[in-house]
Amino acid sequence: MRGYVQVYTGDGKGKTTAALGLAIRAAGAGMQVFFAQFVKGQDYSEIRLLRNKIPEIEFQQYGRECFIKKEPEKEDIQIARKGLNAVKNKIISNQYDLIVLDELNIAFYYDLISIEEGLELVKQKPNKLELVITGRKAPNKIIEAADLVTEMKEIKHYFRKNVKARKGIEY
């Protein structure tokens, strides 16, 4: 089976959730999944499920326990670089059917990882590997390299009415 490159982007809610759903679907089909989450280091509810509860899914975070507000700090860059190296090794290992690079587009946006390095990951992808890249602000070069691009567009969101993130729904 041929693997493709998918991109989930846009300002609407649901990019990570869609990637998680695909990872769970793949695991249910007996496929091996590596889910790398860039920029984020917080303890979200879905992480508790993915860590050690679904043996087909290996999950790693490459971010600090806070969001980047303005300029990334040296530690943000170091952690993202560590993630990039880990992902390169996972891709060339040829042991995964699906690799998700969650929030990689944001890592590009903050110059933690160059777009050229992202394109190199796409080029290194074995033919059978499905590669998913998520995050707002997908660079045009990544969109062009993808086989499928889905844009999540916010039409209406209750956050605009000051509804706080809810456990089990947003985190």
Q: How confident is the model at residue 170 (pLDDT cuts 50, 70, 90)?
A: confident
104 located within any domain: yes
Q: For position 49, what pLDDT does the model report?
A: 81
- pLDDT interval class at 147 (50, 70, 90): very high
Number of H helices, E strands in the chain: 6, 6
CA distance 42 to 64: 7
Within a domain: residue 167?
A: no
Residue 170, domain member (yes or no):
no
Q: Read off the pLDDT of each residue in 138-146 and give the average, rounded to a whole number.
A: 98
Q: Tell me: the pLDDT tens digits for 78-109? A: 999 999 999 999 999 999 999 999 999 999 99
* Predicted pLDDT at 41: 82
CA gap 110, 80 in Å, rounded: 10
Contacts of 107 (CB under 8 A, 6+ apart): 38, 39, 80, 83, 113, 135
Domain that holds residue 120: 5-161
The pTM (predicted TM-score) of the whole model is 0.92
149 lies in a domain? yes
Judge whether 171 lies within some domain. no
CATH code at 60?
3.40.50.300
Confidence band, pLDDT 50/70/90 cuts, at residue 165 = confident
Q: Nearest Cα to 40, choosing from 167, 136, 128, 132?
A: 136
- Mean pLDDT value across residues 126-152: 98
What pLDDT score was predicted for residue 157?
Answer: 86
Please report the pLDDT score of residue 66 as a whole number.
73
User: Which is it for the CA torsion 71, 37, 16, 157, positive or negative?
Assistant: negative
Q: Does position 4 have pLDDT exceeding 80, yes or no?
A: yes
Q: Torsion-angle region of residue 147: left (phi > 0), alpha (psi -120 to 50) or beta?
A: alpha
Residue 159: what pLDDT? Answer: 79
Instruction: With respect to residue 166, please indicate whether it lies within any of the assigned structural domains.
Output: no
Give how many domains the chain has, as a whole number: 1
- pLDDT tens track for 21-75: 999 999 999 999 999 999 988 888 888 888 778 999 999 999 997 767 778 889 9
